Amino acid sequence: MVLSQRQRDELNRAIADYLRSNGYEEAYSTFKKEAELDNNEELDKKYAGLLEKKWTSVIRLQKKVMELESKLNEAKEEITLGGPVSQKRDPKEWIPRPPERYALSGHRSPVTRVIFHPVFSVMVSASEDATIKVWDYETGDFERTLKGHTDSVQDISFDQTGKLLASCSADMTIKLWDFQGFECIRTMHGHDHNVSSVAIMPNGDHIISASRDKTMKMWEVATGYCVKTFTGHREWVRMVRPNQDGTLIASCSNDQTVRVWVVASKDCKAELREHEHVVECISWAPESAHPTIQDATGSETKKSGKAGPFLLSGSRDKTIKMWDVSIGLCLMTLVGHDNWVRGILFHPGGKFIVSCADDKTLRIWDYKNKRCMKTLCAHEHFVTSLGKQRPPPTPPNKKPCFCLTSLSPEEPRRAGFTNMCSSQGLNNGKGAPCFHHGAFPVLGVAGSWGLGGRRALQNLSASPLRVFAAFQQIKAG
């Protein structure tokens, strides 16, 4: 490149200023003489420090170019995998992408769970500060606080109507809340240690809970009485989840096993044993995922005649496993996380698996091809749980709601807390379904929250709940 005369003059004066200001007097005199620069104080002031400024600008531009090249390579990879080539594609094939839409703060201690209401656009969060908070998911505003537990709230669950909310706590109790009046209507006692997981059964008549006392208990919603106790795990039961029709429940434990139980008889139908560390989380496969699972594992599922039901498990051994419960067989193992896997679920369309882990990432898996197709740096600390909305009938062109949460203080984890957060969509209190800004799917990330709600976020250094409003569209298969 050839410089113009004006550019050469500017460069010469900038070099001369640099030599003079840094004490290179002999070089300055020689250069000034050879460059034929006259004495002009006004021009000298104009070019003072110019060479350093240009140099640092070049460095900044080089860094920006490298960032843009990296984003371009990612975009090319997405296109290769089937990127957002058509806005008319099925919304069930969209996956999350940053940045977040909201960052919500309000709890005084780490968030342990976030869920969506099954009908309305409100989120509910549970925390180690012993409270449950309700948030307007549409606007990101804090609504109210539910108080009653005296220790960390470990898990929360809605019934299918959204009228009842169940919560469990390290205070060894399960509470049932009227979510229309926001009052605790029943407290259930019976576990001998920290109650780590709770779920309302699909029929709405019973609650299932899991505890560090190595048992699971089933409670009658109408009376609060314990009607069944499931025993068999040898260590802390981390999570319990019923299947879609409520005939089976799955549990995972510190004993490195996943167990599947027949609700009616309390019999253990299957004991799944291939993990090499604590099993943190489980998730049942929806029916929408069965065709893809059978395509991905056809030779294995055909052996059993009738395939399924299928179950996912995530472990501290950093792996995700898929199981055919009917034959107790591990169909596949997904490897890629660099730390404990803390949350897993199937994408609403059934063609992908979404997971999160203590490696601070959210990963989307094309499990048919057994590969991680996208990794998001979802949080600054451990990403510990995720969930999806149980969608009501979706209007045309509306995209399903999906949410991830995370938190992360190391000390609570070391002390043995579950430290899980999830999110599954909720209510704005207006009595009608509410869809978030064109019903874009949402991704939320939760951390250590501070007091004051969303408006106080700018004053907080703790990691907040993050709500991501955009999804990246991809092709199936």
Blockwise average pLDDT, block size 10, the chain, 477 residues: 78 84 85 80 72 83 87 72 52 75 84 87 90 89 95 95 96 96 96 97 96 97 96 97 95 97 94 96 92 81 69 96 94 95 89 91 91 86 76 48 46 28 33 33 41 32 47 36
What are the contacts of 188-193 at 24+ separation with CB within 8 A? 188/219, 188/224, 188/226, 190/217, 190/219, 190/226, 191/215, 191/217
Residue 441 preceded by cis peptide, ω within 30: no
β-bridge mates for residue 188, sequence order: 174
Neighbours of 205 (CB within 10 A): 15
pLDDT at 89: 56
**C-alpha 392: how far from its chain's center?**
22
179: helix, strand or coil? coil
pTM, full prediction: 0.70
Distance CA 134, CA 205 (A): 24
Burial class of residue 392 (count of CB atoms within 10 Å of its CB; 0-12, 13-18, 19+): middle
pLDDT at 423: 34
Residue 433 preceded by cis peptide, ω within 30: no
Quote the crossing angle between the two packed helices 5-21 and 50-81, to the nearest 10°: 110
pLDDT at 472: 38
| Closest to 284 measured CA to CA, from 388, 187, 400 | 388
CA distances from 465 to 99, 109, 114, 115, 418 (A): 13, 12, 9, 12, 17
Distance CA 405, CA 403 (A): 7
Placement of tokens 């006692």 in the chain:
189
Could you tell me the sign of the dihedral formed by the alpha carbons of 118, 204, 420, 232, in that order? negative
Distance CA 199, CA 116 (A): 14
pLDDT at 336: 93
Distance CA 267, CA 248 (A): 10
The amino acid that residue 58 corresponds to is V
Placement of tokens 């949460």 in the chain:
405
pLDDT at 80: 60
β-bridge mates for residue 435, sequence order: none
The amino acid that residue 53 corresponds to is K
Say if CB 356 and CB 337 are below 8 A apart.
no
Structure-token pair, residue 204: 């709405």
pLDDT at 390: 65
Q: If you ran DSSP here, which 8-state letter would residue 110 be given?
A: B
Distance CA 173, CA 196 (A): 10
452: helix, strand or coil? coil
pLDDT at 26: 86
Distance CA 162, CA 116 (A): 9
The amino acid that residue 136 corresponds to is D
pLDDT at 38: 77
